[in-house]
Amino acid sequence: SPHPRACLNSTAVLIDYSLVDAVRGPAFANMPGFIVPKLTEKDYERDHHERFIETQFGYLDYHDYPGQKYYRNFQGEHDLDLIRRYIPYNLCSGYPDVTYRYFAMNWPELCIFAFTDTHIPIGVIMGHQIEPRRARITMWAVEHRVDHKVVYKRLFNLVLKRMRENEIKQVVILPLNEDKRRRMLQVIGSGGPLRFINSEKEFQFYI
């Protein structure tokens, strides 16, 4: 059944509806889909997570043991400062603070943070549903003092996995500018999901 929060029909927040409308158009049914890489059972072993505090336990999404990094979902209001911190690093076209808050509070499973094993935040990705089967990635930011390409890719694959669980079929990303568009292609590669640009100059693909 469609995700219960799939429609943006509230006027209580500042939503750029011109961007929402940008993805409403003909579906490209014959376009090849992007297969999200599967994670092994080892990736979800809980007995190795004794270093995490209890409040993080239920939100842990993925632990990169060799890379000494972990990824968790949005937990609540205290995470909003982290989101604001990464606005300058965002590869995507931006929104007002109140809109990011709306997205995070309504789709917490689509807001994923990256941390070092010493609990230092190093990146975030955020998405929201614009229709029952369509979603947009609105923030994708990683600090460059870490192995940023690895973190970019991991965040990307994790949020796509969650989107598939929400029965989303189509995903769009609008780069902030040409420089950010090139950065996305450097990270993901032009032969992967970011190989198709729609009429609104958004990357568009199916999962």
How many Å apart are CA 70 and CA 63, to the nearest integer?
Answer: 4
How many Å apart are CA 54 and CA 80, to the nearest integer?
Answer: 20
Give 89-117 pLDDT, tens digit per residue.
999 998 999 999 999 999 999 999 999 88
- Packing angle, helices 178-188 and 148-165, rounded to 10: 90
Whether residue 136 is predicted with pLDDT greater than 90 in this model: the reply is yes
pLDDT band of 45, cuts 50, 70, 90 = very low
Total-model pTM: 0.72
* C-alpha Rg value of the chain to the nearest Å: 16
Whether residue 25 is predicted with pLDDT greater than 90 in this model: the reply is no
pLDDT at 144: 80
Q: Do the beta carbons of residue 139 and residue 100 sit within 8 Å? A: yes
Q: What is the mean pLDDT of residues 156-178?
A: 93
How many Å apart are CA 4 and CA 181, to the nearest integer?
Answer: 32
Q: Domain spanning 54-169 has what CATH number?
A: 3.40.630.30
pLDDT band of 171, cuts 50, 70, 90 = very high
pLDDT at 145: 77
pLDDT band of 64, cuts 50, 70, 90 = confident
Which two three-digit tokens encode residue 140?
A: 């994708």
pLDDT band of 134, cuts 50, 70, 90 = very high
pLDDT band of 176, cuts 50, 70, 90 = very high
